[in-house]
Amino acid sequence: MAKTGVFDSDPTVMGKATELKKELQRLILAIIDDDNYSTDTIDHAKEILCALKELKLRKRSRSSNLYENLICPDQFRCPLSRELMRDPVVVSTGETYDRPFIHKWLKAGNRTCPRTQQVLSHTNLTPNHLIREMISQWCKSRGIELQDRVHYLDDDTITEADRDQFLTLIEKMSMTISEQKAAAKELRMLTKRMPSFRALFGESLDAISSLLSPLCGDNSQSSIHTDLQEDVITTLLNLSIHDNNKKLVAETPKVIPLLMEALRSGTMETRSNAAAALFTLSALDSNKALIGKSGALEPLIDLLDEGHPLAIKDAASAIFNLCIIHENKARAVRDGAVRVLLKKIMKQMHVDELLAILAMLSNHPKAIEEMGELGAVPFLLRIIRESPCSRNKENCIVIIHAICLYDRTKWKDIREEEKSYRTISELAQNGTSRAKRKASGILERLNRAVNMTHTA
């Protein structure tokens, strides 16, 4: 396998990247489809991801701005990037900008000229051939090769103008309520559409705390200004998407408490976005533990219980991710997850996602006891009979296997099911590899019980 250091000397880097991606795809499919995958498979996948990451960083480094420190006439600098223009274009107000940066401005939803603040009559970009030729001659006279930036501008590129705009908006979060609202709405939009703004939050120690300030302390108006709360919480969601921000966001004081408050009291969109933020943050195991200890599972389960179409999937995804670590399983069971999950599954709501969570909890004794008491076995057997989804069948038999090992009284339901429908036998022959193992285990126990009865 190609190790991380391979990119230092291999001239066929793109070919290596393609090979690595193919190998990574093969490993991921093996992990998804085979329950018996080894830890070596995971380690192998991690090595490939590290190698691909280094390739990406090296490519970005090679494509970095070659002219950042170049002193050039002001009319050759883009008003947005404040750097030498490669592809100057004119907007409807007559102002000239470098194409990638004005395109980025328009793509973010802006419909004004950045320099004059006039509303643009149209968004067509007209090449400024005169300025282009002047820049070309100026570069040629200094032995500089002018490259077309449009080919290598990355969405993560952070310009000086971006930084200025970012700092201005953060400063407004401590001003009047109207300025806070306007700044929060713009930060929400920018962090959604521009990865560079997500990255900027990671560069400042106080930026996230400043973003949250309108929702904190004695002067908090979040209960009155629900639109402000929604914009701030959604901005947190946008920030958490950026991998380098996950740890910083989760460990910033007040973030998780404010997300929990939003889960309980926000608009339905705010509650859904708060759940989605907890889901993305919980990609890190350290964050899973932190969020679980904070008590976030209870409001997530309450939100799931309400069953609002806008929020139920986000809540379920967050609960699933958090329950990957053992200590959070106990917390989820304690906070009533089993009852809520079974109730929703019986109502045919998001059965795929909720069965996966229930199966994950099925190695917890209290969860198994509760499932048995709530009459889960007959309903799960019916899903196995009627569902076309092999993954759902697998999750059902995993749960049934755990319940029956814990509570012998449930074997009666299994015997009757086998006698009437041969449900378990069918799954033992045609299920997934994991489902076959669990179904065969149940059949073996049934046969032993029958033999013992005959012997007696």
Q: What is the DSSP string of 80-97?
A: TT-SB-SSEEE-TTS-EE
Residues 6+ apart with CB under 8 A from 294: 256, 257, 260
Question: Is the pLDDT assigned to residue 254 strictly greater than 80?
Answer: yes
pLDDT on residue 148: 52
Q: Where are the alpha helices (DSSP H) in 92-204?
A: 99-107, 129-141, 160-172, 177-193, 195-203
pLDDT on residue 59: 53
One-letter amino acid for residue 366 of the chain: K
Max distance between CA atoms of the chain, in angstroms, equals 104
- CATH class belonging to 74-141: alpha beta
Split at pLDDT 50, 70, 90, the class of 162 is confident
Closest CA to 368 of 401, 323, 335: 401
Helix, strand, coil percentages, rounded to 5, for the chain:
70, 5, 30
80 with 161: CB under 8 angstroms? yes
Closest CA to 276 of 240, 309, 308: 240
243 with 285: CB under 8 angstroms? no
Sheet (strand 96-98) strand order: 96-98, 88-90, 126-127
Written as six digits, the tokens of 100 are: 């990638």
pLDDT more than 70, % of the chain:
85
User: Exposed, middle or buried, 440 (CB in 10 Å: 0-12/13-18/19+)?
Assistant: middle
Domain 169-215+225-335 CATH (choose: 2.40.110.10, 1.20.120.80, 1.25.10.10, 3.30.470.20)? 1.25.10.10
How is 392-432 classified by DSSP, letter by letter?
A: HHHHHHHHHHHHHHH-GGGHHHHHHHHHHH-HHHHHHHHS-
Residues 6+ apart with CB under 8 A from 388: none
Lowest mean pLDDT among 45-59, 189-203, 292-306, 335-349: 45-59
pLDDT on residue 430: 95
Question: Is the pLDDT assigned to residue 64 strictly greater than 60?
Answer: no
Helix axes 326-334, 297-306, angle to 10 degrees: 50
Better pLDDT: 390 or 194: 390
d(CA 7, CA 171): 42
d(CA 368, CA 381): 16
d(CA 88, CA 96): 6
* DSSP state for residue 98 in the 8-state scheme: E
Split at pLDDT 50, 70, 90, the class of 417 is very high
pLDDT on residue 63: 39
Q: pTM above 0.85?
A: no
228-233-234-237 Cα dihedral, nearest 10 degrees: 160
Lowest mean pLDDT among 63-77, 192-206, 316-330: 63-77
Question: Is the pLDDT assigned to residue 397 strictly greater than 50?
Answer: yes
Summary mean pLDDT of the chain: 85
- Element (DSSP H or E) covering residue 75: none
Torsion over CA: 61, 101, 273, 356 (sign):
negative
